């Protein structure tokens, strides 16, 4: 019986053994073509001309699209019209729906977009969808500008972004339900606007957030990043602006109990993030450590407080002029 099992096992392992012993096969190197000096000059010259032509056509096409998007921001009616047209292009024309189906789709969309319109700034569930579209179009245009900007011009996006954040926060009372959804619906990949104008490949840019309502992302990816090299002394103030704007926006888009929990749990964590960031990259590490201590004192019951204590203790020990024993800074257990 033992011999029979051995005969079964050994053949099954044989391919693995042979595979392990087989020498590694190195593919032959691809031989690069040899061009004459004349060929190199000719090809590079043609590429230069083609590149200029491509950039001209690309700039003209994108400028035309951005002009249409800007026109859509002019009024609520213009915003709804542009969005509806894009929706019909993507979901009706390209899918070859019948005229009756397209008309029914347009009417349904119009009814959805009208939801909440004219109801003022009260706590209506739907808010102002047209305002949401306009803000979404505005952020989409900024995203396209950021994508195309050279490094020196990209810095000019910071004041535009800060103004947008101010307007976003000011508009927060009207951005509820469908209205808030429409901002993201306009900007994201898969959006009828993005699909209609074929803008998917223009949405990614390092140092730029694609989320038109993520205030924290706008600061961390763009505003603070720029200030790290160009205006280091402004980092504490910028962080304060980020926290203030984020808190104000959330207050308008959360229920009272939800916002109370955010203030209790997330706001102290955000302030700790501010302090640790400024310790690493701000103008004064000592001031940052003071902010850490202040945050711990004000939030001793926070779930992260024990970790905060450990982190700050470690930083203090590292900064001490004389070595401190591991037991010296522990609380008295008597």
CA gap 236, 224 in Å, rounded: 10
The reported pTM is: 0.77
Is the distance from CB of 181 to CB of 212 less than 8 angstroms? no
Band (9; pLDDT cuts 50, 70, 90): very low
Q: What is the model's pLDDT at position 14?
A: 43
Residues 210-257: pLDDT tens digits? 999 999 999 999 999 999 998 999 999 999 999 999 999 999 999 999
Task: Give CA separation, 197 vs 10, 69, 130, 132, 135, in Å.
Answer: 63, 10, 20, 19, 18
Q: What is the model's pLDDT at position 323?
A: 65
Q: How distant is the alpha carbon of residue 182 from its chain centre?
A: 17
Residues 146-189: pLDDT tens digits? 999 998 899 999 999 999 999 999 999 999 889 999 999 998 88
Is the distance from CB of 252 to CB of 173 less than 8 angstroms? yes
Report the SS3 class of residue 74: coil
Q: What are the φ/ψ torsions at residue 84 (nearest 5 degrees)?
A: -65, -45
Across the chain, mean pLDDT equals 84
CA gap 216, 270 in Å, rounded: 10
Residues 77-111: pLDDT tens digits? 999 999 999 988 888 776 655 556 656 666 666 66
Least confident piece of the model among 66-70, 320-324, 327-331:
327-331
pLDDT exceeds cutoff 60 at 121: no
Greatest Cα-to-Cα distance within the chain, rounded to the nearest angstrom:
88
CA gap 127, 181 in Å, rounded: 10
pLDDT exceeds cutoff 50 at 26: yes
Cα atoms in the 13 Å half-sphere on the side-chain side of 276: 14
Q: What is the model's pLDDT at position 58?
A: 61
CA gap 84, 102 in Å, rounded: 11
pLDDT exceeds cutoff 50 at 4: no
Cα atoms in the 13 Å half-sphere on the side-chain side of 54: 6
Give the number of other Cβ atoms within 10 Å of residue 209's Cβ.
20
CA gap 22, 269 in Å, rounded: 56
Least confident piece of the model among 60-69, 140-149, 210-219:
60-69
Band (32; pLDDT cuts 50, 70, 90): confident
Q: What is the model's pLDDT at position 67?
A: 94
Band (310; pLDDT cuts 50, 70, 90): very high
Q: Which string of b and e fits 39-52 if b means at least 16 CB within 10 Å?
A: eeeeeeeeeeeeee
Band (142; pLDDT cuts 50, 70, 90): very high
């Amino acid at each position: 019986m033992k011999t029979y099992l051995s005969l079964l096992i050994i053949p099954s392992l044989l391919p693995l053994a042979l595979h392990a012993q087989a020498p590694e096969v190195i593919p032959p190197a691809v031989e690069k073509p040899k061009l004459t000096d004349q060929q190199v000059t000719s090809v590079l010259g043609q590429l230069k001309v083609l590149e200029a032509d491509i950039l001209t056509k690309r700039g003209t096409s994108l400028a035309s699209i951005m002009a249409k998007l800007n026109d859509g921001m002019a009024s609520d009616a213009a915003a709804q019209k542009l969005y509806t047209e894009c929706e019909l292009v993507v979901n009706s024309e390209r899918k070859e729906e019948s005229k009756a189906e397209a008309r029914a789709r347009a009417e349904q969309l119009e009814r959805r977009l009208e939801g909440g319109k004219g109801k003022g700034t009260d706590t209506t569930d739907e808010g102002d969808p047209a305002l949401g579209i306009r803000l979404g179009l505005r952020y989409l245009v900024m995203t396209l500008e950021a994508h195309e900007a050279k490094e020196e011009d990209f810095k000019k996006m910071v004041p535009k972004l800060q103004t947008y954040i101010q307007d976003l926060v000011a508009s927060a009372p009207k951005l509820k339900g469908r209205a808030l959804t429409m901002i993201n619906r306009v900007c994201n990949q898969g959006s009828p606007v993005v699909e209609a104008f074929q803008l998917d490949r223009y949405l990614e840019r390092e140092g730029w957030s694609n989320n038109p309502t993520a205030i924290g992302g706008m600061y961390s990816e763009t505003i603070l990043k720029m200030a790290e090299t160009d205006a280091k002394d402004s980092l504490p103030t910028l962080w304060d602006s980020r926290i203030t704007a984020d808190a104000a926006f959330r207050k308008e888009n959360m229920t009272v109990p939800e916002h109370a929990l955010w203030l209790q749990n997330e706001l102290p964590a955000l302030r700790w993030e501010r302090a640790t960031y400024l310790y690493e990259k701000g103008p004064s590490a000592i001031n940052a450590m003071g902010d850490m201590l202040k945050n711990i004192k004000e939030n001793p019951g926070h779930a992260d407080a024990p970790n905060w204590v450990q982190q700050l203790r470690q930083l203090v020990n590292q900064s001490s002029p004389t070595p401190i024993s591991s037991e010296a800074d522990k609380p008295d257990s008597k």
